[in-house]
Amino acid sequence: MQNEAAIDKIITSKGFSEYKWINPKDIVVAQWVRVKCTFGCNDYGLGACPPNTPTVDDCGRFFNEYDTGLIIRMETTADKDAYPANWSLEMTNKLLEVEREIFLKGYYKAFLLNQSCCSLCEECPGNRLECLDKSRSRPSPESFAVDVYQTVRNAGLKIEVVSENPSEITRIAILLIE
């Protein structure tokens, strides 16, 4: 990465302090993640979630097209019955700003896997064709079949299953840069 310091500056200027440079070829992609998305996630079927995403095999091939990426780790306190939607939207907007600024530095393949399922609009039409904000809608790592826990741990960052309520939760975004 020829301009890592400039990218570090962009990321930290948006308030992100915990992130790690990675090789996207080290991202762990697994079929079980897609199955868990399909059977267990309330957002299944919405615009940036399966089945509106590439196949698991295609996701693995996609990551292999990149040599540089970042895992961005965020934490907030949350209650399982009251997801911090305003915080999540704020993080999404900041992450999209980071992606845009990096793109404008000449990294035309910059692509964000958002820290959450797309939640830009209050009402989602449920498919990419009718998406109300196509230019800003981004999939989550999980919707691209990323085993987030293993990928984050392999990168040397901390992530744990949340077992108490309310609790600190960890959200992960992946930014691919080329």
User: What is the domain extent for residue 59?
Assistant: 4-177
pLDDT at 83: 82
- The band of 132, judged by pLDDT with boundaries at 50, 70 and 90, is low
pTM value > 0.75:
yes
- Cα 147 versus chain centre, distance: 12
pLDDT in tens, 53-62: 999 999 999 9
Distance, CA of 29 to CA of 37 (rounded, Å): 13
Q: Which helix (H) or strand (E) holds 10?
A: helix 4-13
User: Domain total for the chain?
Assistant: 1
Digit-coded pLDDT (tens) for 148-165: 999 999 999 999 998 899
User: What would the DSSP string read from start to end of 71-135?
Assistant: EEEEEEEEBTTB--HHHHHHHHHHHHHHHHHHHHTT-TT-EEE-SSS--SSSS--SSGGG-S-TT
Helix (H) or strand (E) holding 169, with range, is strand 167-177
Alpha-carbon distance of 149 to 125, in angstroms, equals 30
Quote the percentage of the chain above a pLDDT of 90: 73
pLDDT of residue 69: 97
Across the chain, mean pLDDT equals: 92
pLDDT digits (tens, 9 = 90+) for 12-59: 999 999 999 999 999 999 999 999 999 999 889 888 889 989 999 999
Question: Is beta strand 167-177 parallel, antiparallel or unpaired with respect to 19-22?
Answer: unpaired
81 confidence band (pLDDT: 50, 70, 90): confident
Q: How far apart (Å, rounded) are the C-alpha atoms in residues 166 and 71?
A: 25
Q: Supply the pLDDT for residue 3.
A: 87
89 against 80, higher pLDDT = 89
| Gap between the Cα atoms of 24 and 129, Å rounded | 28
